[in-house]
Amino acid sequence: MARLLWVRARSAEEALKAADYVLRDGNLSLVLLDLKLNSEKELRKIPATTWYRFQRIVEETGMVCVVFTRRGMVVSAQARITLHSRFPLGALERDSDELLRELNVEISDARQFQEFTKQNVA
């Protein structure tokens, strides 16, 4: 935790600006961007070019950028991880191995998702 940088933003726009600065700086190997609490209205305002810009930065530096959202929206993501499990607050008292066995995770190559979407929209 000595090397943790936490930026708390008031809006999705501020969070994206902060993420852009941190990614371009290149001094961190892992950047987590949590947009789950932002409204759908705010998230719809994010242009797809933002994600492609982040992708180029990440590819050039070898960093990892993980974006948490309520729905799939990062069009340039190389992989999509979807968690289908929901745990109540009382789950904090349970053994972590037990919780991991109950975790329902779906991992897909984002390019497959994009092809599926194109075929079904056309």
Among 81, 70, 72, 77, which Cα is nearest to 50's? 77
- Cα–Cα distances (Å) from 23 to 58, 61, 66, 77, 92, in that order, read 7, 9, 12, 15, 33
pTM exceeds 0.85, yes or no: no
**SS3 state at 92:** helix
Q: Examine the pLDDT at 122 and tell me if it is beyond 80.
A: no
Distance CA 77, CA 59 (A): 11
Domain positions in the chain are: 12-121
Q: pLDDT per residue over 24-83, tens digit each?
A: 998 899 999 999 999 999 999 999 999 999 999 999 988 999 999 888 888 888 888 888
